[in-house]
């Protein structure tokens, strides 16, 4: 990292770039560009157009045509056109910006910009080890379907980005609880009120549309009650994030769990969560990834619980994890086995 800092400083000095374009901005741009290329290639590979962001684009197109997005968008038999519009209206306002672009470019560009903002927020806060979240399966899957997760997660590091919380208020709440901001919540409320000018009754349409999506969104705590143990740490911001992530309905397709990467407090914990999640995700992918989307989305739940939520819960008792690790690495467990054999 220090070598990269020196190189970026030299480039800035040679090119004479403005003061606001500092090393953090350049590094965030590079990470965002990588996110754009990753998303663009994955969307093209699977023929997913703009992925999940396609709903926002279609909602924006409906607004341009003067129609109700919740009525104008009818489901088609293939993804990403398989369901009606089920986002809050502000999501369609964001999608409006991208309606004149090619679908693949729009989805990848949205994801690339979101990645840039998230990377900048992490770099600005000085916790560079948090950049490991870009190597997580949750981030890769989010790029695969051009999801909102990186944009909403940026609100945990850049309070004004919490304005986008109104686009996905349930999952976006995790960013606010991690770093509560009067400015952030004020902007989100203002955005919601302004959207009522465009369509005063959209909250009622949104509630009706959301009920049809509950089959794909589950509450982890109902499935695994032992996750209540995370509430013992609710006084910390990491504990609040974990608690809300067990309580809110969320997608069971890995990308919504990107918020769990707010829980680690050190590089070691970040590596632990990332490796654990990749092991679980890898096993799931080997079995289900080539099956129809409806099958492999539903099948992901146990792998998310075991490989994502359980390791995140273990971080709250990190001293025990370290003791177990030292016990295993020291080979002391062999003495226990030898004693049991002698007794036999």
Q: What is the three-state SS of 98-155?
A: CCCCCHHHHHHHHHHHHHHHHHHHHHHCCCHHHHHHHHCHHHHHHHHCCCCHHHHHHH
Report how far residue 256's alpha carbon sits from residue 147's, in angstroms, rounded to the nearest whole number. Answer: 9
- Determine the straight-line distance between the first and last CA of the chain, rounded to whole angstroms: 55
Report how far residue 140's alpha carbon sits from residue 201's, in angstroms, rounded to the nearest whole number. Answer: 36
202 and 246 within one domain = no
The pLDDT value given to residue 81: 66
Of 212, 245, 263, the domain-final residue: 212
267 and 125 within one domain = no
What average pLDDT does this structure show over 183-209?
92
Domain around 180? 1-212
Of 172, 194, 212, the domain-final residue: 212
pTM here is 0.86
Q: Helix (H, G, I), strand (E, B), or coil: what is residue 218?
A: strand
**What pLDDT, in 10s, does the model give residues 133-184?**
999 999 999 999 999 999 999 999 999 999 999 999 988 999 999 999 999 9
Of 212, 237, 267, the domain-final residue: 212
Written as one string, the DSSP assignment of 14-60 is HHT--TTS-HHHHHHHHHHHHHHHHHHHHHHHHT-TTTTHHHHHHHH
Q: Helix (H, G, I), strand (E, B), or coil: what is residue 70?
A: helix
27 and 117 within one domain = yes
68 vs 341 pLDDT, higher one: 68
286 and 186 within one domain = no
Angle at which helices 169-178 and 237-247 cross, to 10°: 170
The pLDDT value given to residue 37: 97
pLDDT above 90 covers what percent of the chain? Answer: 61
150 and 102 within one domain = yes
167 and 223 within one domain = no
Closest CA to 297 of 248, 246, 256: 256
Residue in the structure block whose two tokens are 């040679």 = 14
Cβ atoms 64, 57 nearer than 8 A: no
Tokens of 139: 């981030």
Backbone angles phi, psi at 201, to 5 degrees: -100, 15
pLDDT band at 217 (very low <50, low <70, confident <90, very high): confident
* Letter string b/e over residues 84-118, b meaning 16 or more CB atoms within 10 A of that residue's CB: bbbbbbbbbbbbbebbeeebbebbbbbbbbbbbbb
Average pLDDT, the chain: 85
| Number of other residues whose CB lies within 10 A of the CB of residue 211 | 9
The pLDDT value given to residue 15: 47
- Split into its structural domains, the chain has a count of 2
What average pLDDT does this structure show over 302-311?
93
């Amino acid at each position: 990292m220090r070598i990269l800092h020196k190189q970026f400083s030299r480039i800035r000095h040679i090119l004479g770039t403005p003061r606001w374009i500092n090393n953090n901005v350049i590094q965030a741009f590079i990470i965002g560009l990588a996110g754009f290329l990753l998303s663009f290639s994955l969307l093209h590979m699977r023929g997913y157009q703009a992925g999940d962001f396609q709903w926002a684009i279609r909602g924006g197109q409906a607004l341009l045509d003067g129609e109700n997005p919740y009525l104008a968008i009818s489901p088609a038999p293939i993804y990403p056109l398989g369901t009606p519009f089920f986002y809050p209206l502000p999501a369609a306002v964001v999608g409006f910006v991208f309606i004149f672009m090619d679908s693949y470019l729009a989805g990848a560009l949205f994801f690339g910009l979101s990645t840039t903002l998230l990377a900048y927020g992490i770099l600005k806060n000085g916790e560079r080890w948090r950049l490991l979240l870009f190597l997580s399966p949750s981030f890769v899957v989010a790029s695969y379907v051009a999801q909102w997760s990186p944009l909403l997660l940026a609100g945990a590091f850049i309070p004004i980005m919490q304005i986008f919380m109104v686009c996905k208020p349930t999952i976006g709440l995790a960013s606010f609880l991690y770093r509560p901001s009067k400015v952030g919540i004020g902007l989100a409320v203002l955005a919601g009120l302004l959207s009522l000018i465009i369509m005063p009754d959209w909250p009622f349409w949104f509630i009706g549309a959301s009920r049809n999506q509950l089959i794909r969104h589950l509450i982890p705590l109902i499935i695994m009650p032992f996750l209540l143990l995370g509430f013992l740490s609710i006084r910390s911001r990491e504990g609040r994030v974990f608690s809300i992530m067990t309580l809110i309905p969320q997608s069971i397709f890995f990308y919504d769990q990107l918020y769990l990467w707010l829980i680690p407090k050190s590089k070691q914990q970040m590596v632990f969560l990332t490796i654990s999640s990749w092991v679980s995700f890898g096993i799931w992918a080997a079995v289900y990834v080539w099956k129809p989307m409806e099958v492999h989305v539903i099948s992901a739940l146990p792998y998310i619980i075991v490989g994502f939520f359980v390791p995140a819960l273990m971080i709250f008792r990190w001293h025990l994890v370290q003791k177990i690790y030292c016990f295993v690495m020291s080979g002391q467990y062999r003495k226990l086995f030898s004693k049991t054999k002698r007794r036999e």
